[in-house]
Structure 1
């Protein structure tokens, strides 16, 4: 097989749009060009305040690229991926060209089936611990994509992380422009982007260990406190230039799909990544020389629902069409 066609584009894009993005901003478009599928940055959806440097944009696009890879592999037409191809425009984040056709592996099939079931679960988890074999699988998932995942074991490192995360959250809450942008991406009207209030965490209470974004202000049910000792993972890479962030996005999505396949739940905690001083402090606490790219809270939780997404037709670009810019 030498080229992809429009049917392959739609298979890849339908899976890619299920990737996570900061505030569910969905900053991507996809097109077929010269037999290759290209993942494009839609910079009109880059968050001006929370993501002025483009870190979250690249994380989201890396995750979308991974979903596209998995979907194509599951259909027997795996892709060779080039990140930031030099011969393309600045908005071409990844190019997927056909590899050798073959049946999907068991792992590829399992991840493809997990894509439509992945969502951020911001509700309290059950106190049941995540077993060691599952923890090993999560670490290996990140490593398979060229990233690292450190799982915090014991209350001492967990308390240290919680202090860093809460401090970063306070910094962000004091920024009125940041809060206005956050509220602009929260909604109740069935919009195809942003975070519905029904997907938000219950209102914060003094006993909560980790911060939650105020997408909603509903109270929690009696006896439904957050777990006292959550499993927290820090995902990182060796560097922090755009290609490292794309690698991190692919690794993040592989970890998240592994979470689903293992019957676990997950939510992301990006506040300590968004505040530079907190991010540096977090890496020092881990004794890592690389760059932290995302924090994850992992456990067992009640079933929920994936967030809204734009229609497929809204994210498909023509062969010569570029995304709108600000």
Structure 2
């Protein structure tokens, strides 16, 4: 089993749970089986209105899988991954066996340190441009994981994505099923829940950017949110699309791994991502984006990259909450 102990494997699971997920729903569970870590999708946490096919769920599990691989490598061992190993068990995302020991690269150490530091952003950015060399690095990291990250250079295309995001947000706000999901995952001030979106994870009054990308209304008119002044947070940032050549369950998991690789590398340079999944939660809007902006690839994530005014706190379920019996 290389040099990995039971404590090492539990630390890997704790790291995996810091992956991003829509509404911070954390739709995963883990188990340890001798020298293997088992990653399962927790379908009880799937967003049934927004994500009926489980695409976003598997993106989240893919991000958790990248964390597993990174944390194992940081112990000096090698992760040996079998993705979707049993067709009769669709919730079984991966089995990761601990391979031979080896040297730990500096990049692996850096990424491992960023896992609990990375934060999802839910506002505008300060007027500091993301360096082109960093964007080039993020593009290469996504490619290494089997996906494509494309910074959207066209001002017109950015306006289209912003308009579609706002339109999707407005439609979802009128839909009872979507609204109930928001109620489930939007946490009030002082909540002790270790999942969902805390009330201080977004500004009480977000500054509008141009073009403006609509944010989820977790406060639901209750006046929740961080009251800190953010006069500098007026920039949209770099809008980027994460795409894959296929659109199978394996592609969704691969996209999640690529997403987390991008996010951790960005975090190491102080850059955060804001996610805008609203338009991709409508099939016809997702098809439109694919045909007009991504053809022939499938859009898996719309995001904005930039420098935040400050980082928000993160909440995650504890190890006993996510670690089950094999």
TM-score by length of 2: 0.91
Report the equivalent of 2:90. 90
In structure 1, runs of 5+ residues without a counterpart are 320-326
For the residue of structure 2 that corresponds to 1:196, the secondary structure is: coil
Asked whether 1:192 is paired with 2:194, we answer yes
**Rounded Cα–Cα distance in structure 2 between residues aligned with 1:3 and 1:83:** 23
| Residues 225 and 104 of structure 1, relative CA distance in 2, 3 Å threshold | closer
- Which residue is 1:308 aligned to? 315
Rate the CA distance shift 1:283–1:5 in 2: closer, same or farther, 3 A. Answer: same
Distance 2:33 2:230 in 1: 55
Deviations 1:45-85 (CA, angstroms, capped at 9, x unpaired): 11222222111110111111110110010110120111100
Q: Which shifted more, 17-26 or 280-289?
A: 280-289
* 3-state SS in 2 of match to 1:48: coil
Q: Equivalent residue for 1:179?
A: 179
**Residue 236 of structure 2 is aligned to residue 213 of structure 1:** no
Residue of structure 2 in register with 1:277 after alignment: 284
Change in Cα spacing, 1:172 to 1:254, as seen in structure 2 (3 Å) is same
Task: Point out where structure 2 has 5 or more consecutive residues left out of the alignment.
Answer: none
Q: 1:225, CA displacement in angstroms?
A: 5.4
Residue matched to 2:51: 51
Distance in 1 between residues matched to 2:309 and 2:144, nearest whole Å: 29
Residue 96 of structure 1, CA deviation: 0.4
Structure 2 vs 1, CA of residues 76 and 242 (structure 1 numbering), >3 Å: closer, same or farther? same
* Aligned residue number for residue 25 of structure 2: 25
Q: Any conservation in 1 of the 2:237–2:306 contact (CA below 8 Å)?
A: yes
Structure 1 residue 137, shift from structure 2 partner: 0.8
Does residue 165 (structure 1) correspond to residue 165 (structure 2)? The answer is yes
* Structure 1 counterpart SS, 2:179: helix
Q: Could you say what secondary structure the match of 1:86 adopts?
A: coil
Task: Give the Å deviation of 1:34.
Answer: 4.6
* Separation in structure 1 between the aligned mates of residue 192 and residue 78 of structure 2, nearest angstrom: 35
The CA distance in 2 between the partners of 1:235 and 1:138, in whole Å, is 11
Q: Which of these residues, 303, 318, 321, is aligned with residue 296 of structure 1?
A: 303
TM-score normalised by L of structure 1: 0.91
